[in-house]
């Protein structure tokens, strides 16, 4: 398994303390960048969001990610950035997370032709 896959596995162990679903499945992780570093290790940069801008647990979750990913043997340094661009939406959750939280499955967009209408 590559390092990004291992980081994702670790992110699945990080939970929003107010929601019983991991941060990866919630769709809160926007990007994982891996860059070579010293001593044959890597630096990991993670960009994440929160379910709401007013969430008071953001620093807790960012620190939890940093602590757990930093414990990986291959990792030299971890930087976690919180952003709200784009804003998180429930549609970003995995189907498993949606089911666990009582949401309907993610709808599959249909490529139906647009119906032209004229209004008098």
Summarised one tens digit per residue, pLDDT across range 19-58 is 889 999 999 999 999 999 888 899 999 999 999 888 888 9
At residue 116, the pLDDT reads 54
Provide the 3-class DSSP secondary structure of residue 117. Answer: coil
At residue 108, the pLDDT reads 55
Q: What class is the 3-88 domain? A: alpha beta
- Decide: residue 8, CB within 10 A, 0-12 exposed, 13-18 middle, 19+ buried: middle
**pTM attached to this predicted model:** 0.82
In this structure, what token pair is assigned to residue 100?
């666990």
């Amino acid at each position: 398994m590559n390092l990004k896959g291992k980081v994702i596995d670790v992110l699945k162990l990080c939970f929003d303390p107010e929601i019983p679903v991991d941060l990866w499945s919630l769709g809160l992780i926007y990007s994982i960048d891996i860059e070579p570093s010293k001593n044959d290790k890597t630096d990991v940069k993670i960009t994440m969001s929160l379910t709401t801008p007013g969430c008071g647990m953001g620093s807790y979750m960012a620190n939890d990610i940093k602590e757990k990913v930093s414990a990986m043997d291959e990792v030299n340094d971890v930087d976690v950035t919180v952003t709200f661009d784009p804003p998180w939406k429930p549609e970003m959750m995995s189907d498993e997370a949606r089911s666990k939280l009582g949401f309907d499955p993610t709808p599959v967009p249909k490529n139906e032709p647009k119906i032209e209408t004229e209004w008098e």
